[in-house]
């Protein structure tokens, strides 16, 4: 019995020694593999490749951000000039603030000896003071004030050489359909006022037949939507990748029913967004202009890659904007590119004027 236990212990000891030797050999061979010259070369190449990828991503991101910043700087000055014209036409209480914003962020040189020829007076309060200091000048706009606190502002603009037909056919593709020239915006305002002066409620109607389709041309007020549309027209701009208009706003009037539709592209076109307002065309009695009353709205989000779609009924942003009724204040006929087309001027109550042209 004693001999068997000793033999068993010797066998266990030999087995343990053999296993230990095998494990030590495997560990040594693994270390020699990891520290071999060929393995070290592969590791170094992987590290260099990872570094190159990280460096390229950092450089690309930096360039994209700088390019986006430069595009925003490019359109900032025209946008702020548009905001000044908006205040002159629609909200003079904000004129001083918007002029201050324009002069603060731009470095436009002022030619104090600039002649008055070629400029048209856009705004002055009562009579211009004798002593003026020009504080801003660009190719399209110049502004003067009698004091540093922007009292007694005087604003001049360059006239636009073309009439209503030229304004409509211009289309402004380089700025996403936004009329970004100050002279052109003032020309639009002149044409709008001229059309309203000749218009009568009895001659203003949305439909020449049973239905009509219209495309957006111009609006007299400006906000962030104009800036986003101008940036969205620039290839490579982050705004163009995130959200940009797909086409112009469309309006359809069919008898007493009306529908307004905006189309947008999201994430470089991977998603599509439709915003629709639905309402009614109302012809008030007592010699008043026709109205468009918007009753409901919806947003439709869909994918251009997969058969997926989701509808949001009465989204908050659309509901807030649709509450203002639209009043048709003028309807004129003009020849555009050899075709006679109707042009409608709408007063969006509390905001300003919008212009639509009838689709041919």
CA distance 275 to 318: 8
- Largest Cα separation within the chain, whole Å, is 130
- State the alpha helices, DSSP H only, in 91-223: 95-105, 164-170, 182-198
CA distances from 63 to 66, 107, 237 (A): 5, 24, 11
**Hey, what are 165's tokens?**
């037909």
User: What does the block give as tokens for 331?
Assistant: 């309807």
Confidence (pLDDT) at 328: 92
pLDDT tens string, the chain, 360 residues long: the values are 444 455 555 555 555 555 554 444 444 444 444 455 566 677 777 877 877 777 877 877 787 788 888 888 889 999 999 999 999 998 889 999 999 999 988 755 566 555 567 888 889 877 666 778 888 988 889 998 888 888 889 999 988 888 899 999 998 888 888 998 888 999 999 999 999 988 876 656 776 556 889 999 999 999 999 998 998 888 888 888 888 999 999 999 988 899 999 999 999 889 999 999 999 988 777 667 888 999 999 999 999 888 899 999 999 988 888 888 999 999 999 999 888 999 999 999 888 999 999 997
Collect all residues with Cβ–Cβ distance below 8 Å to 319 and sequence separation of at least 6: 297
Cβ pair 360, 171 in contact under 8 A: no
Cα–Cα distance for residue pair 346/331, rounded to 1 Å: 9
Q: How many residues does the chain have?
A: 360
pLDDT of residue 24: 45
Closest of 262, 267, 232 to residue 247, by C-alpha: 262
Whole-angstrom distance, CA of residue 74 vs CA of residue 233: 13
Q: Which CA distances in Å does 226 have to 177, 178, 181, 186, 209?
A: 9, 6, 12, 16, 33
What's the confidence (pLDDT) of residue 192? 93
Instruction: Take residue 56 and report the two structure tokens written for it.
Output: 């390229």
Q: How far is CA 11 from each of CA 2, 7, 17, 23, rounded to the nearest angstrom?
A: 15, 6, 10, 18
Q: What is the pLDDT of residue 79?
A: 93
Going from N- to C-terminal start, the domains of the chain cover 68-157, 164-358
Q: How far apart are CA 272 and CA 310, in angstroms?
A: 11
| Residue 217 DSSP code | E
Give the bridge partners for 297, in sequence order.
Answer: 277
Q: How far is CA 111 from CA 124, 151, 155, 263, in A?
A: 20, 20, 14, 43
Report pLDDT for 205.
Answer: 73
Q: Residues 347, 348, 350, 351: is their CA dihedral positive or negative?
A: negative
C-alpha closest to that of 326 among 353, 286, 288, 298: 353
| Token duo for residue 46 | 């992987």
């Amino acid at each position: 019995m004693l001999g068997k236990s000793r033999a068993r212990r010797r066998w266990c000891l030999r087995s343990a020694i053999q296993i230990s030797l095998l494990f030590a050999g495997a560990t040594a061979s693994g270390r020699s593999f990891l520290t071999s010259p060929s393995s070290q070369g592969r590791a170094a190449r992987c590290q260099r490749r990872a570094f190159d990828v990280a460096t390229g991503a950092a450089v690309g991101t930096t360039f994209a951000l700088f390019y986006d910043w430069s595009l925003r700087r490019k359109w900032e000055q025209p946008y702020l000039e548009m905001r000044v014209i908006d205040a002159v036409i629609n909200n003079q209480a904000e004129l001083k603030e918007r002029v201050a914003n324009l002069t603060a962020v731009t470095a436009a040189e002022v030619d104090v000896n600039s002649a008055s020829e070629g400029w048209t007076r856009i705004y002055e309060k009562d009579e211009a003071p004798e002593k003026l200091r020009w504080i801003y000048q660009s190719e399209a706009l110049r502004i003067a004030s009698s004091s540093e606190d922007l009292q007694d502002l005087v604003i001049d603009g360059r006239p636009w050489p073309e009439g209503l037909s030229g304004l409509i056919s211009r289309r402004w593709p380089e700025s996403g359909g936004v009329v970004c020239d100050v002279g052109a915006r003032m020309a639009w305002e002149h044409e709008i006022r001229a059309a309203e002066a000749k218009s009568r409620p009895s001659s203003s109607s949305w439909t020449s037949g049973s239905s009509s389709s219209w495309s957006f041309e111009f609006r007299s007020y400006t906000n962030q939507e104009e800036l986003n549309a101008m940036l969205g027209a620039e290839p490579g701009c982050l705004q163009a990748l995130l959200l940009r208009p797909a086409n112009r706003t469309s309006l359809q009037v069919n008898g007493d029913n009306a529908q307004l539709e905006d189309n947008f592209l999201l994430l470089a076109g991977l998603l599509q967004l439709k915003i629709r307002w639905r309402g009614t065309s109302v012809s008030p009695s007592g010699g008043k202009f026709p109205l468009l009353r918007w009753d409901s709205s919806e947003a439709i989000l869909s994918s251009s890659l997969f058969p997926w779609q989701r509808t949001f009924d009465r989204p908050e942003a659309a509901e807030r904007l649709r509450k203002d009724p639209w009043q048709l204040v003028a309807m004129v006929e003009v020849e555009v590119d050899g075709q006679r087309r109707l042009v409608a001027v709408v007063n969006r109550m509390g905001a300003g004027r919008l212009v639509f042209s009838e689709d041919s």
